[in-house]
Chains A and B, each alone.
Chain A
Amino acid sequence: MQLDEAAAWPALLAAVQVQLEQGGSFFAGSQLTLDIGERVLEEAQLTELLALLEQHGVQLAGLATAAQASRKHARALGLTTRNSPRAGPPAEQVSQSPDDALLVVRTLRSGQVVRHHGHVTIVGDINPGAEVIAGGSVIVWGRLRGLVHAGALGDAKALICALELRPTQLRIAHLIARTPDGGSDLRETRVQPEIARIEQDYISVETWGAPRRTGT
């Protein structure tokens, strides 16, 4: 996560809080590296930041900064630091560009998690007990039988597509959907690719190839 070098500290802290709250499950349990560029952070400020992160279940893996004073204060608090002069124009806000897509070419087994701020494409299955949490859309070229959260950073336009959509749970932005009860015949019935997206106020699932609305 990159923090703006020039913004006033209280405003910046508030922005981080908003980002963490919007992100919700995206950040929970994750390890974060903070890049503060040239900014000098006092120990008190760092402690504030750590407390905020801890509130949201985020562990600070390290601090990347070009300011020696910041590194000194961070190390005093027991943090790992990295000297990284920020090259190029500073990032605009606290978030990173959502346009990076991640391609994962393997089956996710139960207990495995893929977390990414952009779009995620999985070529393989997502087994029950596995999770994909993405800021963008999630495309599964395989069987989606686990949990997928698309638009995890608040994007309600995110899509979830799969060749076989039989998730334990689907989440898009702030909405949660599960497959209806009673459909668990052990034998697999005929299966078609489907897309899930938010329509009005709920998650709607369409078969690929059914007459679609124009536009999207």
Chain B
Amino acid sequence: MARVITITSGKGGVGKTTTTANLGTALAMHGSRVATIDADIGLRNLDVVMGLENRIVYDLVDVVEGRARLRQALIKDKRLPELYLLPAAQTRDKDAVTAADMINLTNEMRSEFDFILIDCPAGIETGFRNAIAGADEVLIVTTPEVSAVRDADRVVGLVEAAEKGPARLIINRLNQRLVSRGEMLSMDEVVEILAVDPLGVVPEDELIVSTTNRGEAAVFNPSSYAGRAYINIARRLNGENIPIMELTEQTNLMDRLFGGLFGRRART
């Protein structure tokens, strides 16, 4: 039976789609059967980032409206046989499906997969509510910027109110150089503000730009620090206890979070 995980953020552009694609790929690489669902109807991007946009015949709205069966709409990934994508529709908008539709859909898919990752649209309206409707767990993606953290805080509150909590946090695009200079919030500061369990930190990585443009997951590239971070996050989702930062002898995550705030050189 699948774990249904929605990846959301509130703020746009912080890396939900990139995270969904890379996390899905990493989980599939390690043997899980994974489906990703693009819930951003009208502004779909997950298909592009996964390099599957040419293979779309039917989409989420076709399935919900009965024009296609789920099997017809699911697209197998180019490289991994255990990874599937259910794309969004581009010519409709978020009112095309309801929360009940999403719950029915995820229930129909549960027995077929180990993980179902739902890429949530930006915002807190219908699209967001639909995307979390069927979720067992919610991952919140934020960048270490004040405005993104503000929005993430709002979303944490909404997720708690929808009783989908507790949410877990992925901090994306952390630039350690800027953190050391005091110009960017550190991971500890973000976690302190949001008071949410951190699942992982993904460093700023130029390779993300080219890999997403080419429709390849960064996790395939051993030179990508972001890719390595996503692999670690996938392993943590699977229950492995992987330290977030390779620092001194401290291997206990709690010690590291409360042991001090400044000047850490972080590798993930």
Chain A interface (Cβ < 8 Å from any Cβ of B): 107, 109-112, 125, 127-129, 185-187
Contacts and interface: CB of A to CB of B under 8 A. Distances in A.
Contact of A109 (B153, B182, B184): B153
A127 B193 contact: yes
Nearest to B156: A109
23 contacts: A109-B153, A109-B157, A109-B160, A110-B150, A110-B153, A110-B154, A110-B157, A111-B154, A111-B157, A112-B157, A125-B195, A127-B193, A128-B150, A129-B150, A129-B153, A129-B154, A185-B182, A186-B146, A186-B182, A186-B183, A186-B185, A186-B189, A187-B262
Interface in B154-173: 154, 156-158, 160
B169 to A, nearest CB: 14
Contacts of B182: 185-187
3 A-B pairs with least C-beta separation: A109-B157, A110-B154, A110-B153
A109 B150 CA distance: 9
A87 to B, nearest CB: 35
Contacts of A127: 153, 193
A50 B146 CA distance: 42
B21 to A, nearest CB: 28
A186 B158 CA distance: 26
A109 B185 contact: no
B195 A107 contact: yes
Given A110-B151, A185-B182, 14 more contacts: A107-B195, A109-B153, A109-B156, A110-B150, A110-B154, A111-B154, A111-B158, A125-B195, A127-B153, A128-B150, A186-B182, A186-B183, A186-B189, A187-B262
Nearest to A128: B150
Contacts of A112: 157
B174 to A, nearest CB: 14
Contacts of A129: 150, 153-154
A112 B193 CA distance: 16
Contacts of B160: 109
A109 B183 contact: no
Contacts of B151: 110
A179 to B, nearest CB: 15
A124 to B, nearest CB: 9
Nearest to A107: B195
Contacts of A125: 195
A107 B151 CA distance: 16
Interface string B190-207: 000101000000000000
A129 B154 CA distance: 8
A163 to B, nearest CB: 14
Contacts of B185: 186
Nearest to B195: A107
B189 A109 contact: no
B8 to A, nearest CB: 14
A104 to B, nearest CB: 14
Nearest to A108: B157
A128 B154 CA distance: 9
Contacts of B156: 109
B211 to A, nearest CB: 30
B193 to A, nearest CB: 7
A142 to B, nearest CB: 11
Interface in B240-268: 262
Nearest to A143: B193
B36 to A, nearest CB: 28
Contacts of B195: 107, 125
A84 B156 CA distance: 39
B162 to A, nearest CB: 13
Contacts of B184: 186
Contacts of B183: 186
Contacts of B150: 110, 128-129
A129 B151 CA distance: 9
Contacts of A128: 150, 153
Contacts of A107: 195
A126 B158 CA distance: 15
Nearest to B151: A110
